Chains A and B, each alone.
Chain A
Amino acid sequence: MTSSNLISHVYADNSATRSAGAIERDKVLSLLRTSSKVEIDLADILASPSFLDEFLGDLMQRLGPLVFRSQVEILNVSDATAPLLRHILARRMKAYKTENLGV
């Protein structure tokens, strides 16, 4: 694993669907195999709740909140998207705790 920071812009030509979110999530998981940190730039991205849930929500649930915080940096979240993303990540954190900590 290198210590370089990679920037993963969301280049998806489809940010409407859950399947497209899964593709972006897998790209980030792949980058994390060789990088210590991945930056995800959401500038100018209009994304559906399902896309963000599958992309960032599921990513957080897979990595766990501690690893997610230290290895994934989400940049340029618009004011319009922020409340949705907060909600998605909190829900997924709850799911992570239930799955892994029995909380």
Chain B
Amino acid sequence: MRATTLKDVESWLEQIALLRKQQKCSAPFIKPFHLATLCMMSRHGILTLPDFLKGYAARMNLWGLWNHPVPKNFRSSAGIGRFIPLKPLANDKDVSNIADEVKQFFASTSPETQDAIWTAVSEISENARKHSEVKHPISGTFCAQSWIKGNRAQFVVCDDGIGIRPSFVRANMLIERLATENACQVASELQISSKLGKGHSGYGLTVVRDLARIFNASLIVVSNNEGYEVRGTYEANKVIPNFGWNGTMIIFEWELSCNLNVSKVYSGWPKEEDESDDFF
């Protein structure tokens, strides 16, 4: 089973545009990111999905999240299977509960991997809550799936908020850099946050990026029309054609056989001048 790429996400956003216009679309292999994007699109009304998507959408709670009626002959899942259905990100407790549920979901992996995924989910989910500026109690959504035979797992956090670049612009930050650089990539750097010094320190996306770099996992960040991906030593960014997608999507995918370890991420960060063990 191959890793999801930024190109896959771009193709899907194009298909979503087609779905909006003609109520039809195609996708070769449905993963959580497909459903998370559909979920955010469904906020303002019921989507008419092609039949091939309805079963998976029902299992992933696409209609249930917004209290929309589930199409006849399809039932929302009680959460059975190798996936975590779409969850709302409405408050702090949601973030904590989702992180704990994900840790449980991956209980068959090493304790270090469970802790790494818990940390990544905590940080990315809280970012969606705090940075998206969505004027609705539900800021965004989370879902995950694992494929035992394919030796892969994916989680996605998605919101339909203002996006990374507008968040920096609104805070009047990094304007010069953003004139020439990709906002998603810039936001993944350590100590970069649109709310730096205002109760945020810019750790979240860096943790996930560095997990992808060190453990040959995949991070894909798509925000409005910008995309950035990391897969081990490979990194790329691009401008995505305007398919009408607004919001931010963070996709993390890894091989189940790989032992993720977040302390290796922390150890790899540049040393600060006054670092010591004097405090503990």
Contact = CB atoms under 8 A, between A and B. Distances in A.
- Residue of A49, A51, A91 with highest tally of chain B CB at under 10 A: A49
A82 B278 CA distance: 11
B267 interface: yes
Nearest to A81: B263
Interface residues of B, number: 37
Contacts, number: 106
Contacts of A24: none
Nearest to A58: B199
> Interface majority SS on B: helix, strand, loop or mixed?
helix
A91 B272 contact: yes
Contacts of B147: none
A9 interface: no
B266 A87 contact: yes
- Please tell me the size bucket of the interface on A: 35 or more
B92 A17 contact: yes
B277 A49 contact: no
Contacts of B266: 49, 80, 83-84, 87
A57 to B, nearest CB: 7
Interface of A: 13-14, 16-20, 46, 48-51, 53-54, 57, 60, 68-69, 72-75, 77, 79-91, 93-94
20 contacts: A14-B92, A16-B96, A16-B122, A17-B96, A18-B126, A19-B92, A20-B92, A46-B118, A48-B119, A50-B201, A53-B201, A54-B199, A77-B280, A82-B280, A84-B263, A86-B276, A87-B271, A87-B275, A90-B272, A91-B201
Given A46-B119, A49-B119, A81-B263, 11 more contacts: A16-B95, A17-B96, A17-B122, A48-B119, A48-B126, A50-B123, A75-B280, A79-B263, A87-B266, A88-B201, A89-B275
